[in-house]
């Protein structure tokens, strides 16, 4: 078989390969497949230097070249792989039909993707794969080139990190909920007790002692202010409205407080058919609005912001926009070190990922838009909690 001969030649002496190259040059009007194959054999030693798996298929999709990296990664020898379809040999889980990818390759220089494949030993590996059309000297397609880098370990670590950061986020939420309750039940109650005692003292103090009356009145307003502060702090840590009356009321409460604290004018648009969602989703939306508005206040310089929360047939869409100066990228390594990376945007990203959603940030000189889409299903999609 012509193909297997070519694959086999990779392992054979290089003199033979050099000869194959010169023959290809002389007979470039040969059948393109044949001359192309000779070209690959001429360079196969170089391709063997690569740690990555490199394979080449002919126009029929059959393997005609399989380097040592591919042997190491996939366990199949070049002889075993020759003439087979790599997609079938490696049980490749393609994200779209092969014909579509080939179409892309005709108009684009290459196609990049992460692929899951199965080795000869039955192990599942994930590779960063780059495909390109392989053309001969006269520009005719001789086949397809594929370079696979093993990223299995990196994906595992990413996955573990994702699980860990998801766990950290939910621990932080639990911790905030606990702190909010503690604040409300301990400091809040103590302050309430102090206010009651004060009221009694105020009754007993002589009406002629104007100095003491003024001091007690001042004390009364300080206590009232402290009660308010504790309540705000505890609500910010975990808004009780979220559990009781749901997201729209909790957001309205938060946005009103944010506007008066920051002097930023925020428009809040919530679609009337929003309905209720599971607790984690409502909490995630609330936290994302908190983080995004805090960023608007701290970084954007914008005097206005707009939040819209809408329900699509099977998704919830949240958009937080400002009209500020946009996100500036750190120009150099040193400025990156000076300004340590925040956890706000990555926290949003984690929350979104944990709930199976998607996130997009668009930013420019006219402002920043953080847009998040969460899937909602079944009863939730009908607006029932």
Ligand X SMILES: Nc1ncnc2c1ncn2[C@@H]1O[C@H](COP(=O)(O)OP(=O)(O)OP(=O)(O)O)[C@@H](O)[C@H]1O
Residue 9 in contact with ligand X, rule: CB under 6 A = no
Residue 144 φ/ψ, nearest 5 degrees: -135, 140
Stretch that binds Mg ion, among 40-48, 169-177, 219-227, 344-352 (CB under 5 A): 344-352
Which of 343, 358, 366, 383 is close enough to bind ligand X by CB under 6 A?
343
Q: Tell me which stretch binds ligand X (CB under 6 A): 4-12, 101-109, 320-328, 349-357.
A: 320-328
Binding flag, residue 321, ligand X (CB under 6 A):
no
Does residue 11 contact residue 78 with C-beta atoms inside 8 Å? yes
**Following CA atoms 130, 133, 137, 140 in sequence, which dihedral angle do they give, to the nearest 10 degrees?**
180
Q: Is 296 in the site for ligand X (CB under 6 A)?
A: yes
Query: Residues with Cβ < 8 Å from 179, sequence gap 6 or more?
Result: 234, 237, 238
Binding mask 57-96 toward ligand X (x if CB under 6 A, else -) reads ----------------------------------------
Q: Which is nearer to ligand X, 149 or 308 (CB)?
A: 308
Nearer to ligand X, 8 or 344 (CB): 344
Interior angle at CA 166, CA 162 and CA 170, nearest 5: 170
Contact between 299 and ligand X by CB under 6 A: the answer reads yes
Contact between 165 and ligand X by CB under 6 A: the answer reads no
Kindly list the strands in the beta sheet with 358-364, ordered across the sheet, starting from the edge strand earlier in the chain: 265-270, 304-312, 315-322, 367-375, 358-364
Answer yes or no whether residue 136 interacts with ligand X by CB under 6 A: no
Among 87, 270, 345, 381, binds ligand X (CB under 6 A): 345
Residue 61 backbone dihedrals phi, psi, to 5 degrees: 85, 15
- Tokens in use for 342? 């925040």
How far apart are CB 282 and ligand X at their closest, in Å? 21
**Whose Cβ is closer to Mg ion: residue 289's or residue 376's?**
289
Query: Which one among 44, 117, 234, 295 touches ligand X, defined by CB under 6 A?
Result: 295
**Residues paired with residue 113 on neighbouring β-strands, in sequence order:** 129
Residue 1's binding partner out of Mg ion, ligand X, none, with CB under 5 to 8 Å set by partner kind: none
Instruction: Judge contact between 303 and 312, C-beta under 8 A.
Output: no
Binding to ligand X (CB under 6 A) within 346-385 occurs at: 346, 368
CB of 56 within 8 A of CB of 134?
yes
Q: Which does 281 bind (CB under 5 to 8 A by kind): ligand X, Mg ion, none?
A: none
H helices then E strands: how many in the chain? 16, 10
Which of 37, 126, 146, 295 forms a contact with Mg ion (CB under 5 A)? 295
Q: Is 190 helix (H, G, I), strand (E, B) or coil?
A: helix
Residue among 52 and 291 whose Cβ is closer to Mg ion:
291
What distances in angstroms separate CA 249 from CA 35, 99, 163, 246, 324, one per listed residue? Answer: 72, 51, 31, 6, 27
Cβ 324 to Mg ion shortest distance, Å: 13
- Judged by the rule CB under 5 A, the positions of this chain that interact with Mg ion are 295, 342, 344
Positions in the binding site for ligand X (CB under 6 A): 295-296, 298-300, 322, 324, 326-327, 342-346, 368
């Amino acid at each position: 078989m012509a193909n297997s001969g070519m694959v086999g030649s990779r392992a054979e002496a290089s003199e033979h390969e050099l000869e194959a190259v010169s023959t290809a040059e002389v007979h470039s009007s040969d059948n393109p497949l044949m001359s192309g194959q000779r070209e690959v054999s001429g360079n196969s030693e170089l391709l063997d230097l690569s740690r990555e798996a490199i394979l080449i298929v002919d126009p029929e999709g059959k393997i005609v070249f399989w380097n040592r990296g591919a042997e190491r990664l996939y366990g199949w020898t070049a002889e075993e792989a020759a003439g087979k379809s790599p997609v079938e040999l490696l049980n490749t889980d393609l994200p779209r039909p092969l014909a579509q990818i080939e179409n892309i390759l005709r108009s684009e220089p290459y196609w990049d993707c992460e692929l899951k494949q199965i080795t000869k030993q039955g192990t599942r590996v994930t590779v960063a794969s780059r495909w390109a059309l392989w053309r001969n000297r006269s520009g005719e397609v001789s086949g397809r080139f594929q370079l696979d880098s093993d990223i299995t370990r990196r994906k595992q670590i990413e996955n573990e990190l994702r699980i860990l950061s998801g766990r950290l986020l939910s621990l932080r939420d639990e911790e905030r909920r606990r702190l909010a309750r503690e604040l409300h039940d301990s400091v809040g109650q103590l302050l309430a007790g102090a206010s009651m005692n004060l009221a009694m003292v105020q009754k007993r103090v002589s009406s002629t002692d104007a100095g003491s009356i003024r001091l007690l009145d001042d004390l009364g307003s300080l206590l009232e202010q402290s009660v308010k502060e504790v309540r705000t702090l505890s609500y910010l840590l975990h808004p009780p409205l979220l559990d009781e009356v749901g997201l729209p009321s909790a957001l309205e409460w938060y946005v009103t407080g944010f506007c008066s604290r920051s002097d930023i004018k925020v428009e809040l648009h919530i679609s009337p058919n929003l309905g209720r969602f599971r607790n984690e989703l409502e909490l995630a939306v609330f936290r994302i609005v908190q983080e995004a508005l805090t960023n608007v206040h701290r970084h954007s310089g914008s005097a206005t912001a707009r939040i819209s929360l809408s329900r699509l047939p099977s998704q919830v869409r949240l958009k937080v926009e400002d009209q500020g100066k946009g996100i500036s990228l750190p120009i150099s390594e040193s400025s990156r070190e000076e300004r340590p990376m925040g956890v706000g945007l990555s926290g949003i990203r984690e929350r979104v990922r944990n709930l199976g959603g998607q996130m997009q940030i668009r930013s420019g000189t006219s402002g920043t838009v953080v847009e998040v889409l969460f899937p909602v299903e079944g009863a939730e999609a009908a607006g029932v909690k």
